[in-house]
């Protein structure tokens, strides 16, 4: 249960959550007076909250403009996916032998519902199912620090909610890759499960950079467990 929160804490946590969930455009201006009015607050707690957000690189202060939502550079995205590819593949391998029948049933259901969500064009549901699929697997790796690190990295790249939202071609391919990961897990094949996850995350990273017109990933078509660094062109 949360203890007492100051206005600054409430404003900071709310804005941080909204930024991570993509409710603001990159470079969108945050007007202190409007935020203060929204939270029925003076401007001082808003400034304090913004300073904290600035220290976490979520917003920046521009001369003659004020506070704006910071963008992720090509290097930021590349750095994040270098870690995500490694850690999510590793978590998948660790999870392989910890999954039980009820887990497989749940994962199978998520895959089925994902296809249905695409057909119904329910993109919010699809996004939720995508997160559920991955976190269900990672939660079984029996390493809480690893799961938390992955979740924190996801928050950053989830600041691009609209990139894939109505991209049925990408979404269908993503679910097909989920099926391949699921089948490898079902067979207890940790090597194939990890390899399939590596390919899946490498393609996602490449696609994000392509869609943001920041193509730094090249030659991601062939992936092997011993060549993870080649995936990210380091």
User: Would you state the pLDDT for residue 229?
Assistant: 46
Pair 121, 58 in one domain:
no
- In the chain, the number of structural domains is 2
Pair 16, 107 in one domain:
no
Query: Highest mean pLDDT range out of 1-15, 48-62, 101-115, 194-208?
Result: 101-115
CATH number at 17 reads: 1.10.10.10
| Containing structural domain, residue 121 | 74-231
Pair 62, 162 in one domain:
no
User: Would you state the pLDDT for residue 110?
Assistant: 98
**Of 43, 69, 95, which closes a domain?**
69
Which long-range contacts link 20-27 to residues 24+ away (Cβ below 8 Å)?
20/155, 20/156, 20/158, 20/159, 21/158, 21/161, 22/158, 22/159, 22/160, 22/161, 22/162, 24/69, 25/69, 26/69, 26/70, 26/71, 26/72, 26/159, 27/68, 27/69, 27/71
183 within a domain of the structure (yes/no): yes
Pair 59, 83 in one domain:
no
Pair 52, 102 in one domain:
no
Q: Mean pLDDT over residues 70-78, rounded?
A: 83
Pair 116, 196 in one domain:
yes
196-222 pLDDT, tens digit per residue, is: 999 999 998 888 887 765 444 444 444
Pair 99, 212 in one domain:
yes
Residue 162 pLDDT class (50, 70, 90 cuts): low
Mean pLDDT for the chain overall: 87
**Of 49, 69, 89, which closes a domain?**
69
1 within a domain of the structure (yes/no): no
Pair 47, 89 in one domain:
no
Pair 180, 121 in one domain:
yes
Beta strands in 41-185 (DSSP E): 59-62, 66-69
- Whole-angstrom distance, CA of residue 26 vs CA of residue 71: 5
User: Would you state the pLDDT for residue 167?
Assistant: 76
Has residue 111 got a pLDDT over 80?
Answer: yes
Pair 12, 56 in one domain:
yes
2 within a domain of the structure (yes/no): no
């Amino acid at each position: 249960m949360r203890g007492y929160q100051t206005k600054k804490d409430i404003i900071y946590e709310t804005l941080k959550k909204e930024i991570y969930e993509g409710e603001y455009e990159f470079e969108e201006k945050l007007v202190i007076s409007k935020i203060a009015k929204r939270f029925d607050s003076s401007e001082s707690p808003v400034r304090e909250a913004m300073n904290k957000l600035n220290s976490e690189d979520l917003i920046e202060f521009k001369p003659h403009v004020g506070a704006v939502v910071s963008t992720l550079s090509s290097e930021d995205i590349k750095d994040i996916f270098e870690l995500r590819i490694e850690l999510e593949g590793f978590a998948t391998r660790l999870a392989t032998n910890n999954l039980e029948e009820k887990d497989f049933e749940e994962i199978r259901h998520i895959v089925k519902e994902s296809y249905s969500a695409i057909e119904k064009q329910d993109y919010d549901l699809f996004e939720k199912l995508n997160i559920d699929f991955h976190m269900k697997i990672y939660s079984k790796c029996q390493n809480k620090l690893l799961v938390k690190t992955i979740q924190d990295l996801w928050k950053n790249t989830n600041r691009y909610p609209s990139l894939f939202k109505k991209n049925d071609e990408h979404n269908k391919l993503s679910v097909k890759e989920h099926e391949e990961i699921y089948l490898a897990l079902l067979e207890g094949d940790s090597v194939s499960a990890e390899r399939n996850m590596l390919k899946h995350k490498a393609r996602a990273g490449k696609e994000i950079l392509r869609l943001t017109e920041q193509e730094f990933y090249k030659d991601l078509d062939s992936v092997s467990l011993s060549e993870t660094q080649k995936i990210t062109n380091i």
